[in-house]
Amino acid sequence: MKPLNLENLSISSLKESYKNKGLIPQEVINFLIARVESLEPRLKAFAHFDKEKILKELKENNIPSGKALCGIPVTVKDNICVKDELTTCSSKILEGFVPPYNATVVERLKSAGAVLFGKTNMDEFAFGSSCETSYFGPTRNPWDIARVPGGSSGGSAAAVAASETVAALGTDTGGSIRQPASFCGVVGLKPTYGRVSRYGLIAFASSLDQIGPITQNVTDAALLMNVIAGHDEMDSTSVDLPVPDYTKALTKDIKGMKLGVPREYFTEGITPEVNEAIKKSINLFKDLGASVKEISLPHTDYAVSVYYIVATAEASSNLARFDGVQYGHRTKSLEQGEGDSLVKMYSRTRAEGFGAEAKRRIILGTYVLSSGYYDAYYLRALKVRALIKKDFEEAFKECDCIVTPTSPTVAFKLGEKLENPLSMYLSDIYTISANLAGIPAMSIPCGLTQENLPVGLQILAKPFDEESIFRLAYTYEQNNNW
């Protein structure tokens, strides 16, 4: 087998190599399988990885030549349904669940010639910001295995960062693509809500969830978006709008672009090294011809509170279906005659199947939706959500994109925040607002700390204007020399 240059293990470089007959998909798959087997005992980026199945499908199926992702390995997060493959949301409650159908994004990957390459680990049901709440145990950050990769798409980000895969799909409910992308030094995009079909995604919070790419570079993110974006009749929240060719936005010219920098994102809590890296990035944008002005997003301080009311309320409703009746884990004690009622079966199954963070969010969500508290919490949160969305609408009247840190800190140590849920929740403080407003946002690497840990830069744009994000991110990527 020919040695591969890991620095060039990207969608764009592999497409070129395949075209020039320098490599064939079999060589790449064999290489990646060997790499996964070598690294997984330490990283645990995958929840399910069946190399025999991958090799069998590669041998039996003719990869469509000339397709957008012909022979490209793409890994999928464990909450996205893949037909005849374990999909468990990294939770015991879905132990053994094998979907009978593919998610729309999976169908589109396969139609484009991609090779599905395992399912990545995640926080249970996407509940977390560190990938530590998984039933299969925590994923570790490839830059420092004593640290978290971020969450909930930590497995996807870690797998891409460690070159265990070429690209991956994650999901983003409050920053779950962008924050791990920041912590792992890769590119992560949360598309506009409705731009990518959610059919086949096991829901956390239906009004917030969105599937998006995690890749080595901005070009790869554009190539993946060209495949997965677009209207889907199977998803009632999918928006019927034309999908542009995102690769055409990959220009190195941002002259005349207007960028906004919200003052609320540079207050107490941001570490000096993150602050310095973001300020350097902003100065680079200025040098490249963009104009930069300070703006205000006045309701930013309420975003975390609003998010954890709305998200937990929707989660408690969505997770009510997991009761041991139709699929997944069912308590064995009742099967052995120790229980005598359906209610006991429900309660014991859910007590055994859900982890601590899932139970916490179900209880909180049920509480805010309960009689007497709905108006005081949930309804009020929806009103403030509308104000947060209006903040962005007003801001985009003045600027094309908004530039912020992705996270106030770099990757923290494993276990550092696990016993302090509030501290964990605050790690998403800069990413949550984009989900509440339904706008697109991307995290790109913008520097390293003295401890050699990546810093992420976040770029936000108005709804369905991913092209502006790609233009700005690509220009930055091509000119940044950190």
* Among 145, 144, 230, 243, residue whose Cα is nearest residue 194: 230
pLDDT band at 22 (very low <50, low <70, confident <90, very high): confident
In angstroms, the CA 341 to CA 46 distance is 37
* pLDDT at residue number 11: 96
Active-site residue, from 90, 153, 176, 407: 176
Q: Which of 6-10, 247-251, 420-424, 437-441 has the lowest mean pLDDT?
A: 6-10
**Encoded tokens for 84:** 């005849």
- Beta strands 187-190; 115-120: pairing state: unpaired
**Cβ neighbours of 57 (radius 10 Å):** 15
pLDDT at position 1: 41
Q: Pick the catalytic residue: 44, 77, 92, 462? A: 77
Higher-confidence residue of 96 and 332: namely 96
pLDDT at position 341 is 81
19 pLDDT band, cuts 50/70/90, is: confident
142-195 pLDDT, tens digit each: 999 999 999 999 999 999 999 999 999 999 999 999 999 999 999 999 999 999
pLDDT in tens, 302-356: 999 999 999 999 999 999 999 999 889 999 876 555 556 888 899 999 999 999 9
Find the catalytic residue in 17, 134, 152, 153: 152
Encode pLDDT of 39-83 as tens digits: 999 999 999 999 999 998 888 766 767 789 999 999 999 999 999
How confident is the model at residue 482, as a pLDDT?
A: 66
pLDDT score for 59: 81
User: Contact 125/151 with Cβ under 8 angstroms?
Assistant: no
152 is catalytic: yes
**pLDDT at 478 > cutoff 80:** yes
For residues 469 and 459, give the distance between their C-alpha atoms in angstroms, rounded to a whole number: 6
Averaged over 381-398, what is the pLDDT? Answer: 98
**pLDDT at site 326:** 87
Cβ neighbors of 296 (< 8 A, separation 6 or more) are 262, 263, 264, 391, 395
CA distance 156 to 168: 6
Q: How far is CA 269 from the centre of its chain?
A: 23
Using omega within 30 degrees of 0 as the cis cutoff, is the peptide bond preceding 152 cis? yes
pLDDT score of 334 = 65
Average pLDDT value for residue range 369-390: 95
Catalytic-residue membership of 236: no
Q: Which of 7-21, 64-78, 256-270, 282-296 comes out lowest in average pLDDT?
A: 7-21
Q: What is the mean pLDDT of residues 359-374?
A: 94
Please tell me the pTM assigned to this model. Answer: 0.96
Say if residue 4's pLDDT is above 90: no
How far is Cα 156 from Cα 171, in angstroms, rounded to an integer? 10
pLDDT of residue 340: 65
Nearest to 112 by CA among 63, 169, 76: 63
Is 67 an active-site residue?
Answer: no
Of the candidate ranges 209-218, 332-341, 349-358, 402-411, the one whose mean pLDDT is the lowest: 332-341
What are the tokens at 174?
């409050």
